[in-house]
Chain A
Amino acid sequence: MNDALITLDNLSIGYNGQPVLSGISLSIGRDRFTAILGANGSGKSTLLKTLLGLLPPVAGRIDTTQSPTGARLVFGYVPQSIQFDPIYLLTGFDVALMGTYGRVRPCRFVPSTERAFTRECLHAAGAEELAPKRFSDLSSGQKQRVLIARALATRPDVLVLDEPTAGVDAEATHTVLEFISRTREERQITVLLVTHDFAAIRHYAQQVLWLHQGKVLQGAPDELLNSERIAEIFGIGIG
Protein backbone atom coordinates (compact mmCIF):
# COMPACT_ATOMS: atom_id res chain seq x y z
CA MET A 1 0.00 0.00 0.00
CA ASN A 2 1.11 3.61 -0.61
CA ASP A 3 1.72 5.79 2.43
CA ALA A 4 -1.29 6.62 4.64
CA LEU A 5 -3.14 9.86 4.02
CA ILE A 6 -5.69 9.47 6.81
CA THR A 7 -5.19 7.35 9.93
CA LEU A 8 -7.97 6.49 12.35
CA ASP A 9 -6.72 5.65 15.81
CA ASN A 10 -9.18 3.80 18.08
CA LEU A 11 -11.96 5.99 16.72
CA SER A 12 -15.54 5.83 18.00
CA ILE A 13 -18.21 7.47 15.87
CA GLY A 14 -21.85 8.24 16.56
CA TYR A 15 -24.38 10.89 17.45
CA ASN A 16 -24.80 12.91 20.66
CA GLY A 17 -22.03 11.00 22.39
CA GLN A 18 -23.66 7.63 21.66
CA PRO A 19 -21.28 5.43 19.61
CA VAL A 20 -22.51 3.66 16.47
CA LEU A 21 -19.11 2.12 15.76
CA SER A 22 -16.22 1.86 18.23
CA GLY A 23 -12.53 1.01 18.20
CA ILE A 24 -11.91 1.80 14.52
CA SER A 25 -8.19 1.77 13.73
CA LEU A 26 -7.21 1.84 10.08
CA SER A 27 -5.42 3.79 7.37
CA ILE A 28 -6.60 5.24 4.08
CA GLY A 29 -3.88 5.20 1.45
CA ARG A 30 -2.78 8.26 -0.51
CA ASP A 31 -4.00 8.46 -4.12
CA ARG A 32 -6.01 5.27 -3.75
CA PHE A 33 -9.61 4.42 -4.49
CA THR A 34 -11.16 3.32 -1.21
CA ALA A 35 -14.73 2.05 -1.00
CA ILE A 36 -16.74 2.06 2.23
CA LEU A 37 -19.27 -0.75 2.05
CA GLY A 38 -22.05 -1.82 4.36
CA ALA A 39 -25.77 -2.36 4.72
CA ASN A 40 -28.20 0.44 5.57
CA GLY A 41 -27.64 1.62 9.15
CA SER A 42 -24.16 0.07 9.36
CA GLY A 43 -22.56 3.48 9.99
CA LYS A 44 -21.14 4.25 6.51
CA SER A 45 -22.49 7.78 6.34
CA THR A 46 -21.62 8.41 10.01
CA LEU A 47 -18.01 7.42 9.28
CA LEU A 48 -17.94 9.67 6.21
CA LYS A 49 -19.40 12.64 8.10
CA THR A 50 -16.87 12.17 10.90
CA LEU A 51 -13.99 12.07 8.42
CA LEU A 52 -15.29 15.28 6.79
CA GLY A 53 -15.60 17.06 10.14
CA LEU A 54 -19.40 17.27 9.95
CA LEU A 55 -19.68 15.15 13.13
CA PRO A 56 -17.23 15.20 16.04
CA PRO A 57 -15.69 11.83 16.96
CA VAL A 58 -17.17 10.27 20.11
CA ALA A 59 -13.66 9.12 21.07
CA GLY A 60 -10.27 8.49 19.46
CA ARG A 61 -8.34 10.43 16.84
CA ILE A 62 -8.24 11.16 13.14
CA ASP A 63 -4.77 12.00 11.88
CA THR A 64 -4.42 13.51 8.44
CA THR A 65 -1.20 14.30 6.66
CA GLN A 66 -0.87 17.67 4.96
CA SER A 67 -1.42 18.28 1.28
CA PRO A 68 1.73 18.58 -0.91
CA THR A 69 1.56 22.39 -0.52
CA GLY A 70 1.73 22.06 3.27
CA ALA A 71 -1.89 23.17 3.74
CA ARG A 72 -4.60 21.13 5.45
CA LEU A 73 -6.24 18.48 3.31
CA VAL A 74 -9.02 19.72 1.03
CA PHE A 75 -12.04 17.44 0.79
CA GLY A 76 -14.19 17.58 -2.33
CA TYR A 77 -17.52 16.36 -0.99
CA VAL A 78 -20.21 14.90 -3.26
CA PRO A 79 -23.35 14.46 -1.14
CA GLN A 80 -26.45 12.58 -2.22
CA SER A 81 -28.32 14.74 -4.72
CA ILE A 82 -31.73 14.30 -3.06
CA GLN A 83 -30.79 16.44 -0.07
CA PHE A 84 -31.05 19.80 -1.85
CA ASP A 85 -34.07 22.04 -1.47
CA PRO A 86 -35.57 22.90 -4.91
CA ILE A 87 -36.58 26.36 -3.65
CA TYR A 88 -33.09 27.69 -4.46
CA LEU A 89 -33.06 29.18 -7.97
CA LEU A 90 -29.52 28.05 -8.76
CA THR A 91 -28.18 26.92 -12.11
CA GLY A 92 -25.78 24.02 -12.56
CA PHE A 93 -22.98 26.57 -12.96
CA ASP A 94 -23.96 28.40 -9.72
CA VAL A 95 -23.78 25.11 -7.81
CA ALA A 96 -20.46 24.06 -9.36
CA LEU A 97 -18.98 27.53 -8.72
CA MET A 98 -19.50 27.00 -4.97
CA GLY A 99 -16.54 24.63 -5.12
CA THR A 100 -14.25 27.65 -5.56
CA TYR A 101 -15.63 29.53 -2.52
CA GLY A 102 -13.00 27.97 -0.24
CA ARG A 103 -10.32 29.94 -2.13
CA VAL A 104 -12.21 33.22 -2.55
CA ARG A 105 -12.15 35.43 0.52
CA PRO A 106 -15.30 37.11 1.87
CA CYS A 107 -16.13 40.48 0.27
CA ARG A 108 -14.47 39.37 -3.00
CA PHE A 109 -16.16 38.45 -6.25
CA VAL A 110 -15.23 35.09 -7.75
CA PRO A 111 -12.44 35.98 -10.24
CA SER A 112 -12.71 35.08 -13.92
CA THR A 113 -9.91 32.49 -13.59
CA GLU A 114 -11.97 30.55 -11.02
CA ARG A 115 -15.06 30.81 -13.21
CA ALA A 116 -13.08 29.43 -16.14
CA PHE A 117 -11.77 26.62 -13.93
CA THR A 118 -15.36 25.80 -12.89
CA ARG A 119 -16.29 25.46 -16.56
CA GLU A 120 -13.34 23.10 -17.02
CA CYS A 121 -14.58 20.98 -14.11
CA LEU A 122 -18.10 20.89 -15.56
CA HIS A 123 -16.57 19.81 -18.87
CA ALA A 124 -14.50 17.11 -17.14
CA ALA A 125 -17.59 15.78 -15.37
CA GLY A 126 -19.56 15.73 -18.63
CA ALA A 127 -21.89 18.40 -17.26
CA GLU A 128 -21.05 21.33 -19.52
CA GLU A 129 -24.51 21.43 -21.08
CA LEU A 130 -26.08 21.43 -17.60
CA ALA A 131 -24.41 24.72 -16.62
CA PRO A 132 -27.27 27.06 -17.63
CA LYS A 133 -30.05 24.70 -16.50
CA ARG A 134 -31.88 25.00 -13.20
CA PHE A 135 -30.21 22.58 -10.74
CA SER A 136 -33.51 21.53 -9.16
CA ASP A 137 -34.88 20.56 -12.61
CA LEU A 138 -32.04 18.13 -13.34
CA SER A 139 -32.38 14.36 -13.06
CA SER A 140 -30.65 12.55 -10.21
CA GLY A 141 -27.77 11.46 -12.48
CA GLN A 142 -27.34 14.96 -13.93
CA LYS A 143 -27.27 16.51 -10.44
CA GLN A 144 -24.63 13.97 -9.48
CA ARG A 145 -22.42 15.10 -12.38
CA VAL A 146 -22.78 18.76 -11.39
CA LEU A 147 -21.92 17.87 -7.78
CA ILE A 148 -18.85 15.95 -8.93
CA ALA A 149 -17.82 19.03 -10.95
CA ARG A 150 -18.32 21.15 -7.82
CA ALA A 151 -16.15 18.76 -5.80
CA LEU A 152 -13.43 18.92 -8.50
CA ALA A 153 -13.64 22.73 -8.42
CA THR A 154 -12.44 22.62 -4.79
CA ARG A 155 -9.10 21.27 -6.16
CA PRO A 156 -9.41 18.41 -3.68
CA ASP A 157 -6.79 16.17 -2.14
CA VAL A 158 -9.57 13.72 -1.33
CA LEU A 159 -12.73 13.24 -3.38
CA VAL A 160 -15.47 12.00 -1.04
CA LEU A 161 -18.64 10.58 -2.59
CA ASP A 162 -21.73 9.54 -0.61
CA GLU A 163 -23.55 6.82 -2.58
CA PRO A 164 -23.08 8.43 -6.01
CA THR A 165 -24.71 5.46 -7.72
CA ALA A 166 -27.83 5.26 -5.53
CA GLY A 167 -30.91 4.98 -7.73
CA VAL A 168 -28.80 4.74 -10.90
CA ASP A 169 -29.08 1.79 -13.31
CA ALA A 170 -26.22 -0.70 -13.82
CA GLU A 171 -24.91 0.88 -17.03
CA ALA A 172 -24.89 4.39 -15.57
CA THR A 173 -23.26 3.05 -12.39
CA HIS A 174 -20.31 1.71 -14.38
CA THR A 175 -20.04 4.99 -16.31
CA VAL A 176 -19.91 6.97 -13.04
CA LEU A 177 -17.37 4.63 -11.42
CA GLU A 178 -15.26 4.58 -14.58
CA PHE A 179 -15.21 8.38 -14.60
CA ILE A 180 -14.26 8.58 -10.92
CA SER A 181 -11.51 6.02 -11.39
CA ARG A 182 -10.12 7.88 -14.41
CA THR A 183 -10.29 11.22 -12.60
CA ARG A 184 -8.36 9.76 -9.66
CA GLU A 185 -5.57 8.62 -11.97
CA GLU A 186 -5.43 11.85 -13.99
CA ARG A 187 -5.51 14.22 -11.02
CA GLN A 188 -3.70 11.96 -8.57
CA ILE A 189 -6.27 12.37 -5.83
CA THR A 190 -7.53 10.01 -3.17
CA VAL A 191 -11.08 8.75 -3.61
CA LEU A 192 -13.32 7.71 -0.75
CA LEU A 193 -16.65 6.36 -1.92
CA VAL A 194 -19.60 5.09 0.12
CA THR A 195 -21.78 2.47 -1.53
CA HIS A 196 -23.69 -0.71 -0.85
CA ASP A 197 -23.16 -1.97 -4.39
CA PHE A 198 -20.66 -4.79 -3.74
CA ALA A 199 -20.71 -6.11 -7.28
CA ALA A 200 -20.00 -2.87 -9.09
CA ILE A 201 -17.29 -1.52 -6.81
CA ARG A 202 -14.99 -4.58 -6.81
CA HIS A 203 -13.70 -3.70 -10.29
CA TYR A 204 -12.74 -0.14 -9.37
CA ALA A 205 -11.75 0.05 -5.69
CA GLN A 206 -8.20 -0.67 -4.54
CA GLN A 207 -9.09 -0.81 -0.88
CA VAL A 208 -12.34 -1.78 0.83
CA LEU A 209 -13.62 -0.86 4.28
CA TRP A 210 -16.58 -3.12 5.04
CA LEU A 211 -18.79 -2.11 7.95
CA HIS A 212 -20.61 -5.15 9.27
CA GLN A 213 -22.26 -5.85 12.62
CA GLY A 214 -20.41 -3.07 14.43
CA LYS A 215 -16.97 -4.05 13.07
CA VAL A 216 -14.83 -2.67 10.26
CA LEU A 217 -13.09 -5.10 7.91
CA GLN A 218 -10.26 -3.72 5.80
CA GLY A 219 -8.65 -5.31 2.78
CA ALA A 220 -8.23 -5.47 -0.97
CA PRO A 221 -11.39 -6.17 -3.01
CA ASP A 222 -10.06 -9.57 -4.15
CA GLU A 223 -9.51 -10.66 -0.54
CA LEU A 224 -12.71 -9.32 0.90
CA LEU A 225 -15.24 -9.45 -1.92
CA ASN A 226 -14.83 -13.02 -3.16
CA SER A 227 -17.82 -15.31 -2.81
CA GLU A 228 -16.25 -17.55 -0.12
CA ARG A 229 -15.31 -14.64 2.10
CA ILE A 230 -18.71 -12.95 1.64
CA ALA A 231 -20.47 -16.22 2.55
CA GLU A 232 -18.20 -16.59 5.55
CA ILE A 233 -18.90 -13.06 6.78
CA PHE A 234 -22.63 -13.28 6.28
CA GLY A 235 -22.91 -16.89 7.38
CA ILE A 236 -20.95 -17.10 10.58
CA GLY A 237 -20.42 -13.44 11.40
CA ILE A 238 -17.11 -11.98 12.42
CA GLY A 239 -15.22 -13.50 15.28
Chain B
Amino acid sequence: METLRLILSPDFLLRNSVYTSVLVGFSCPLVGVFLVMRRLVFMGVALPQISSTGVAIALSVPLWLGVKLSSHPSESAHMLAFIGSMTFSLAAILALAFMERHGRGQPEGRLGTAYVVAASLSILLLSKNPYGEIGWLDMLKGEVITISNFDLVLTAATLTLVLATLGLFHKELLLVSFDRPMAITLRKNVVFWDVLLYLLIGLTVSMAVLSVGPLIAFGFLLIPALTAHMFARNMRQFTILASLCGGAMAFLGFWVAYALDLPVGPTDVVLLGGIYAAGWLTAKLFPEGSK
Protein backbone atom coordinates (compact mmCIF):
# COMPACT_ATOMS: atom_id res chain seq x y z
CA MET B 1 0.00 0.00 0.00
CA GLU B 2 2.99 2.26 0.62
CA THR B 3 3.89 1.91 -3.07
CA LEU B 4 0.34 2.82 -4.09
CA ARG B 5 0.44 5.93 -1.89
CA LEU B 6 3.77 6.87 -3.47
CA ILE B 7 2.52 6.40 -7.03
CA LEU B 8 -0.59 8.50 -6.34
CA SER B 9 1.45 11.29 -4.80
CA PRO B 10 1.62 14.46 -6.98
CA ASP B 11 5.37 14.63 -6.25
CA PHE B 12 6.02 11.12 -7.56
CA LEU B 13 9.03 11.29 -9.89
CA LEU B 14 7.47 9.06 -12.56
CA ARG B 15 3.98 10.60 -12.37
CA ASN B 16 4.03 11.49 -16.09
CA SER B 17 4.64 7.83 -16.88
CA VAL B 18 1.66 6.80 -14.75
CA TYR B 19 -0.63 9.40 -16.35
CA THR B 20 0.50 8.48 -19.87
CA SER B 21 0.09 4.74 -19.28
CA VAL B 22 -3.43 5.27 -17.93
CA LEU B 23 -4.34 7.64 -20.78
CA VAL B 24 -3.16 5.07 -23.34
CA GLY B 25 -4.90 2.32 -21.38
CA PHE B 26 -8.24 4.14 -21.52
CA SER B 27 -7.96 5.31 -25.15
CA CYS B 28 -6.45 2.42 -27.12
CA PRO B 29 -9.37 0.03 -26.44
CA LEU B 30 -11.80 2.59 -27.89
CA VAL B 31 -10.28 2.22 -31.35
CA GLY B 32 -9.48 -1.43 -30.57
CA VAL B 33 -13.25 -2.05 -30.42
CA PHE B 34 -13.46 -1.11 -34.12
CA LEU B 35 -10.46 -3.32 -34.99
CA VAL B 36 -12.15 -6.27 -33.27
CA MET B 37 -15.56 -5.61 -34.89
CA ARG B 38 -14.04 -5.21 -38.34
CA ARG B 39 -12.06 -8.45 -37.81
CA LEU B 40 -8.78 -6.56 -38.16
CA VAL B 41 -7.14 -8.06 -35.07
CA PHE B 42 -3.97 -8.98 -36.95
CA MET B 43 -3.76 -5.42 -38.17
CA GLY B 44 -3.85 -4.32 -34.53
CA VAL B 45 -0.75 -6.42 -33.94
CA ALA B 46 1.17 -5.34 -37.06
CA LEU B 47 0.35 -1.62 -36.98
CA PRO B 48 2.19 -0.63 -33.78
CA GLN B 49 5.27 -2.45 -35.03
CA ILE B 50 5.10 -0.68 -38.40
CA SER B 51 4.57 2.59 -36.56
CA SER B 52 7.72 1.97 -34.52
CA THR B 53 9.64 1.39 -37.77
CA GLY B 54 8.44 4.85 -38.80
CA VAL B 55 9.97 6.18 -35.56
CA ALA B 56 13.25 4.40 -36.27
CA ILE B 57 13.44 5.70 -39.84
CA ALA B 58 12.49 9.25 -38.81
CA LEU B 59 15.23 9.23 -36.15
CA SER B 60 17.74 7.85 -38.66
CA VAL B 61 17.11 10.58 -41.24
CA PRO B 62 19.15 13.28 -39.38
CA LEU B 63 21.97 10.75 -38.99
CA TRP B 64 21.92 9.94 -42.72
CA LEU B 65 21.91 13.67 -43.49
CA GLY B 66 24.72 14.37 -41.03
CA VAL B 67 22.53 16.56 -38.77
CA LYS B 68 23.30 16.37 -35.05
CA LEU B 69 20.46 15.90 -32.56
CA SER B 70 20.82 16.35 -28.81
CA SER B 71 21.96 13.23 -26.96
CA HIS B 72 18.66 12.87 -25.05
CA PRO B 73 15.20 12.50 -26.57
CA SER B 74 14.22 16.14 -27.12
CA GLU B 75 11.03 17.86 -28.27
CA SER B 76 12.37 18.17 -31.83
CA ALA B 77 13.30 14.48 -31.85
CA HIS B 78 9.90 13.66 -30.42
CA MET B 79 8.12 15.61 -33.15
CA LEU B 80 10.30 13.94 -35.77
CA ALA B 81 9.43 10.55 -34.30
CA PHE B 82 5.74 11.48 -34.22
CA ILE B 83 5.78 12.44 -37.90
CA GLY B 84 7.57 9.21 -38.82
CA SER B 85 5.24 7.12 -36.70
CA MET B 86 2.09 8.80 -38.04
CA THR B 87 3.23 8.60 -41.68
CA PHE B 88 4.04 4.91 -41.46
CA SER B 89 0.89 4.05 -39.48
CA LEU B 90 -1.38 5.79 -41.94
CA ALA B 91 0.38 4.52 -45.05
CA ALA B 92 0.34 0.97 -43.65
CA ILE B 93 -3.30 1.00 -42.54
CA LEU B 94 -4.49 2.42 -45.86
CA ALA B 95 -2.36 -0.04 -47.88
CA LEU B 96 -3.37 -3.03 -45.73
CA ALA B 97 -7.04 -2.04 -45.80
CA PHE B 98 -6.89 -1.65 -49.59
CA MET B 99 -5.28 -5.08 -49.97
CA GLU B 100 -7.82 -6.54 -47.53
CA ARG B 101 -10.61 -5.35 -49.84
CA HIS B 102 -9.03 -5.85 -53.25
CA GLY B 103 -5.96 -8.05 -52.79
CA ARG B 104 -5.52 -11.73 -53.38
CA GLY B 105 -3.64 -14.25 -51.26
CA GLN B 106 -3.65 -14.58 -47.49
CA PRO B 107 -4.20 -11.40 -45.44
CA GLU B 108 -2.67 -13.11 -42.37
CA GLY B 109 0.47 -13.81 -44.41
CA ARG B 110 0.76 -10.17 -45.47
CA LEU B 111 0.26 -8.90 -41.92
CA GLY B 112 2.64 -11.48 -40.43
CA THR B 113 5.34 -10.54 -42.93
CA ALA B 114 4.77 -6.82 -42.35
CA TYR B 115 5.01 -7.37 -38.59
CA VAL B 116 8.24 -9.37 -38.52
CA VAL B 117 10.03 -7.23 -41.14
CA ALA B 118 8.99 -4.01 -39.37
CA ALA B 119 10.15 -5.33 -35.97
CA SER B 120 13.56 -6.37 -37.28
CA LEU B 121 14.05 -3.22 -39.33
CA SER B 122 13.34 -0.90 -36.40
CA ILE B 123 15.81 -2.74 -34.13
CA LEU B 124 18.47 -2.74 -36.87
CA LEU B 125 18.04 0.97 -37.57
CA LEU B 126 18.09 2.03 -33.92
CA SER B 127 21.03 -0.21 -33.03
CA LYS B 128 23.11 1.81 -35.53
CA ASN B 129 21.74 5.12 -34.26
CA PRO B 130 23.58 6.75 -31.30
CA TYR B 131 20.40 8.59 -30.23
CA GLY B 132 18.35 5.45 -30.51
CA GLU B 133 20.63 3.53 -28.17
CA ILE B 134 20.15 6.08 -25.41
CA GLY B 135 16.38 6.26 -25.02
CA TRP B 136 14.35 5.24 -28.04
CA LEU B 137 15.37 1.58 -28.02
CA ASP B 138 14.14 1.34 -24.41
CA MET B 139 10.90 3.01 -25.44
CA LEU B 140 10.38 0.54 -28.27
CA LYS B 141 10.86 -2.30 -25.78
CA GLY B 142 8.11 -0.84 -23.58
CA GLU B 143 10.12 0.90 -20.85
CA VAL B 144 7.81 3.73 -19.80
CA ILE B 145 10.23 5.80 -17.76
CA THR B 146 11.25 9.11 -19.27
CA ILE B 147 8.08 10.95 -20.24
CA SER B 148 8.41 14.72 -20.31
CA ASN B 149 5.62 17.21 -19.70
CA PHE B 150 5.65 17.93 -23.43
CA ASP B 151 5.16 14.20 -24.21
CA LEU B 152 2.31 14.01 -21.70
CA VAL B 153 0.52 17.07 -23.08
CA LEU B 154 0.93 15.87 -26.69
CA THR B 155 -0.41 12.42 -25.75
CA ALA B 156 -3.37 13.88 -23.82
CA ALA B 157 -4.23 16.34 -26.62
CA THR B 158 -4.05 13.69 -29.35
CA LEU B 159 -6.05 11.13 -27.45
CA THR B 160 -8.70 13.74 -26.50
CA LEU B 161 -9.04 14.60 -30.19
CA VAL B 162 -9.47 10.90 -31.05
CA LEU B 163 -12.01 10.40 -28.28
CA ALA B 164 -14.04 13.46 -29.28
CA THR B 165 -14.08 12.41 -32.94
CA LEU B 166 -15.11 8.86 -32.07
CA GLY B 167 -17.92 10.19 -29.89
CA LEU B 168 -19.17 12.74 -32.41
CA PHE B 169 -19.21 10.39 -35.38
CA HIS B 170 -19.97 7.12 -33.62
CA LYS B 171 -23.20 6.40 -35.49
CA GLU B 172 -21.62 6.96 -38.92
CA LEU B 173 -18.54 4.86 -38.08
CA LEU B 174 -20.74 2.09 -36.69
CA LEU B 175 -23.09 2.09 -39.70
CA VAL B 176 -20.23 1.95 -42.24
CA SER B 177 -18.58 -0.87 -40.28
CA PHE B 178 -21.76 -2.92 -39.71
CA ASP B 179 -23.57 -2.51 -43.04
CA ARG B 180 -21.64 -0.80 -45.81
CA PRO B 181 -24.32 -1.35 -48.51
CA MET B 182 -26.95 0.24 -46.26
CA ALA B 183 -24.64 3.23 -45.69
CA ILE B 184 -24.27 3.63 -49.47
CA THR B 185 -28.03 3.50 -50.03
CA LEU B 186 -28.39 6.22 -47.36
CA ARG B 187 -25.88 8.23 -49.45
CA LYS B 188 -23.19 8.23 -46.79
CA ASN B 189 -19.69 8.83 -48.13
CA VAL B 190 -18.31 5.46 -47.05
CA VAL B 191 -14.77 6.16 -48.28
CA PHE B 192 -14.64 9.34 -46.17
CA TRP B 193 -15.84 7.52 -43.02
CA ASP B 194 -13.44 4.62 -43.63
CA VAL B 195 -10.51 7.01 -44.04
CA LEU B 196 -11.57 8.93 -40.91
CA LEU B 197 -11.66 5.70 -38.89
CA TYR B 198 -8.26 4.64 -40.24
CA LEU B 199 -6.92 8.11 -39.43
CA LEU B 200 -8.12 7.76 -35.83
CA ILE B 201 -6.63 4.28 -35.55
CA GLY B 202 -3.34 5.51 -37.05
CA LEU B 203 -3.23 8.55 -34.76
CA THR B 204 -3.93 6.48 -31.64
CA VAL B 205 -1.40 3.82 -32.59
CA SER B 206 1.29 6.44 -33.37
CA MET B 207 0.71 8.26 -30.10
CA ALA B 208 0.61 5.06 -28.08
CA VAL B 209 3.78 3.71 -29.71
CA LEU B 210 5.61 6.97 -29.04
CA SER B 211 4.40 7.17 -25.45
CA VAL B 212 4.63 3.60 -24.27
CA GLY B 213 6.09 1.51 -27.12
CA PRO B 214 4.60 -1.02 -29.55
CA LEU B 215 4.33 -3.85 -27.03
CA ILE B 216 1.93 -2.01 -24.73
CA ALA B 217 0.21 -0.33 -27.67
CA PHE B 218 -0.93 -3.56 -29.27
CA GLY B 219 -1.68 -5.08 -25.87
CA PHE B 220 -4.06 -2.22 -25.07
CA LEU B 221 -5.52 -2.05 -28.57
CA LEU B 222 -6.77 -5.60 -28.59
CA ILE B 223 -6.87 -7.44 -25.26
CA PRO B 224 -9.30 -5.15 -23.36
CA ALA B 225 -11.68 -5.15 -26.35
CA LEU B 226 -11.50 -8.94 -26.69
CA THR B 227 -12.07 -9.36 -22.93
CA ALA B 228 -14.98 -6.90 -22.83
CA HIS B 229 -16.64 -8.62 -25.80
CA MET B 230 -17.11 -11.76 -23.69
CA PHE B 231 -19.27 -9.93 -21.14
CA ALA B 232 -20.84 -6.90 -22.80
CA ARG B 233 -24.50 -7.05 -23.80
CA ASN B 234 -24.58 -4.06 -26.12
CA MET B 235 -22.27 -1.67 -27.94
CA ARG B 236 -22.27 0.92 -25.17
CA GLN B 237 -21.25 -1.66 -22.55
CA PHE B 238 -18.66 -3.09 -24.97
CA THR B 239 -16.96 0.29 -25.44
CA ILE B 240 -17.11 1.36 -21.78
CA LEU B 241 -16.00 -2.02 -20.41
CA ALA B 242 -13.06 -2.21 -22.84
CA SER B 243 -11.92 1.31 -21.95
CA LEU B 244 -12.28 0.77 -18.18
CA CYS B 245 -10.47 -2.56 -18.40
CA GLY B 246 -7.58 -0.92 -20.31
CA GLY B 247 -7.31 2.06 -17.92
CA ALA B 248 -7.49 -0.10 -14.78
CA MET B 249 -4.93 -2.59 -16.08
CA ALA B 250 -2.57 0.24 -17.08
CA PHE B 251 -2.60 1.58 -13.53
CA LEU B 252 -2.38 -1.86 -11.93
CA GLY B 253 0.48 -2.79 -14.28
CA PHE B 254 2.44 0.29 -13.31
CA TRP B 255 1.87 -0.38 -9.62
CA VAL B 256 2.98 -4.02 -9.87
CA ALA B 257 5.99 -3.15 -12.06
CA TYR B 258 7.10 -0.39 -9.67
CA ALA B 259 6.62 -2.54 -6.59
CA LEU B 260 8.49 -5.54 -8.02
CA ASP B 261 11.04 -3.53 -10.05
CA LEU B 262 9.86 -4.94 -13.40
CA PRO B 263 9.65 -3.28 -16.82
CA VAL B 264 6.21 -1.64 -17.15
CA GLY B 265 5.36 -2.70 -20.73
CA PRO B 266 5.71 -6.46 -20.38
CA THR B 267 4.04 -6.31 -16.94
CA ASP B 268 1.00 -4.53 -18.41
CA VAL B 269 0.68 -6.99 -21.26
CA VAL B 270 1.06 -10.07 -19.02
CA LEU B 271 -1.61 -8.69 -16.69
CA LEU B 272 -3.91 -8.04 -19.66
CA GLY B 273 -3.30 -11.62 -20.83
CA GLY B 274 -4.17 -12.87 -17.33
CA ILE B 275 -7.42 -10.87 -17.31
CA TYR B 276 -8.32 -12.21 -20.76
CA ALA B 277 -7.65 -15.82 -19.63
CA ALA B 278 -9.65 -15.31 -16.41
CA GLY B 279 -12.47 -13.77 -18.45
CA TRP B 280 -12.50 -16.66 -20.90
CA LEU B 281 -12.57 -19.19 -18.05
CA THR B 282 -15.37 -17.30 -16.26
CA ALA B 283 -17.40 -17.11 -19.47
CA LYS B 284 -16.98 -20.88 -19.95
CA LEU B 285 -17.78 -21.80 -16.34
CA PHE B 286 -20.64 -19.33 -15.87
CA PRO B 287 -22.14 -18.80 -19.32
CA GLU B 288 -25.24 -17.11 -17.83
CA GLY B 289 -22.99 -14.38 -16.38
CA SER B 290 -21.44 -13.62 -19.75
CA LYS B 291 -23.51 -12.46 -22.74
Report which A residues bind B (CB closer than 8 A).
Answer: 49, 52-54, 72, 75, 77, 79, 84-85, 87-91, 94, 98, 101-102, 104, 106-107, 110, 134, 150, 154, 160
Contact A52 B39 (CB under 8 A): no
By beta carbon, the residue of chain A nearest B167 is A107
A13–chain B nearest beta-carbon distance, Å: 16
Q: B184 an interface residue at 8 Å Cβ cutoff?
A: yes
Contact A89 B237 (CB under 8 A): yes
By beta carbon, the residue of chain A nearest B186 is A102
State A28–B178 Cα separation when bound (angstroms): 30
A160–chain B nearest beta-carbon distance, Å: 8
State A90–B156 Cα separation when bound (angstroms): 31
By beta carbon, the residue of chain A nearest B168 is A107
- Shortest beta-carbon contacts, A-B, top 8: A102-B186, A77-B185, A107-B168, A75-B185, A89-B238, A54-B181, A89-B234, A89-B235
For A54, what are the chain B residues with a Cβ–Cβ distance below 8 Å?
Answer: 181, 184-185
Report which B residues bind A (CB closer than 8 A).
Answer: 36-37, 39, 168-169, 171-172, 175, 177-179, 181-182, 184-188, 229, 232-235, 237-238, 291
B190–chain A nearest beta-carbon distance, Å: 10
State A25–B188 Cα separation when bound (angstroms): 29
Contact A90 B185 (CB under 8 A): no
A50–chain B nearest beta-carbon distance, Å: 12
For A89, what are the chain B residues with a Cβ–Cβ distance below 8 Å?
Answer: 229, 232-235, 237-238, 291
For B37, what are the chain A residues with a Cβ–Cβ distance below 8 Å?
Answer: 85, 87-88
A65–chain B nearest beta-carbon distance, Å: 17
A contacts with B: majority SS: loop
By beta carbon, the residue of chain A nearest B173 is A106
6 contacts between A and B (CB under 8 A): A49-B181, A52-B181, A77-B182, A79-B179, A91-B234, A101-B175
State A134–B290 Cα separation when bound (angstroms): 13
B165–chain A nearest beta-carbon distance, Å: 10
Contact B229 A104 (CB under 8 A): no
State A99–B37 Cα separation when bound (angstroms): 20
State A94–B238 Cα separation when bound (angstroms): 14
Contact A88 B235 (CB under 8 A): yes
Pick the contact of B39 from A87, A98, A150 — CB < 8 Å? A87
For A150, what are the chain B residues with a Cβ–Cβ distance below 8 Å?
Answer: 182
For A134, what are the chain B residues with a Cβ–Cβ distance below 8 Å?
Answer: 233, 291
For B235, what are the chain A residues with a Cβ–Cβ distance below 8 Å?
Answer: 88-90, 94
For B182, what are the chain A residues with a Cβ–Cβ distance below 8 Å?
Answer: 77, 79, 98, 150
B171–chain A nearest beta-carbon distance, Å: 6
B contacts with A: majority SS: helix
* Contact A106 B169, CB 8 Å, known A75-B185, A77-B185: yes
State A69–B137 Cα separation when bound (angstroms): 63
B277–chain A nearest beta-carbon distance, Å: 20
State A89–B178 Cα separation when bound (angstroms): 10
For B233, what are the chain A residues with a Cβ–Cβ distance below 8 Å?
Answer: 89, 134
B55–chain A nearest beta-carbon distance, Å: 32
State A90–B229 Cα separation when bound (angstroms): 12
State A87–B237 Cα separation when bound (angstroms): 14
Knowing that A72-B187, A106-B169 touch, tell me 18 more A-B residue pairs with CB under 8 angstroms. A53-B184, A54-B185, A77-B185, A79-B181, A84-B178, A87-B229, A94-B234, A94-B235, A98-B178, A98-B179, A101-B171, A101-B186, A102-B187, A106-B168, A150-B182, A154-B185, A154-B186, A160-B185
State A165–B190 Cα separation when bound (angstroms): 29
A129–chain B nearest beta-carbon distance, Å: 17
Contact A84 B179 (CB under 8 A): yes
Contact B169 A107 (CB under 8 A): yes
By beta carbon, the residue of chain B nearest A72 is B187
A108–chain B nearest beta-carbon distance, Å: 9
By beta carbon, the residue of chain B nearest A162 is B181
Contact B172 A106 (CB under 8 A): yes
State A85–B238 Cα separation when bound (angstroms): 16
Pick the contact of B184 from A52, A87, A91, A154 — CB < 8 Å? A52
State A214–B39 Cα separation when bound (angstroms): 37
Contact B175 A98 (CB under 8 A): yes
By beta carbon, the residue of chain B nearest A107 is B168
* Contact A90 B178, CB 8 Å, known A52-B185, A75-B185: yes
For A94, what are the chain B residues with a Cβ–Cβ distance below 8 Å?
Answer: 234-235
By beta carbon, the residue of chain A nearest B36 is A87
For B168, what are the chain A residues with a Cβ–Cβ distance below 8 Å?
Answer: 106-107
By beta carbon, the residue of chain B nearest A77 is B185
State A196–B100 Cα separation when bound (angstroms): 32
B256–chain A nearest beta-carbon distance, Å: 31
A99–chain B nearest beta-carbon distance, Å: 8
Contact A90 B234 (CB under 8 A): yes
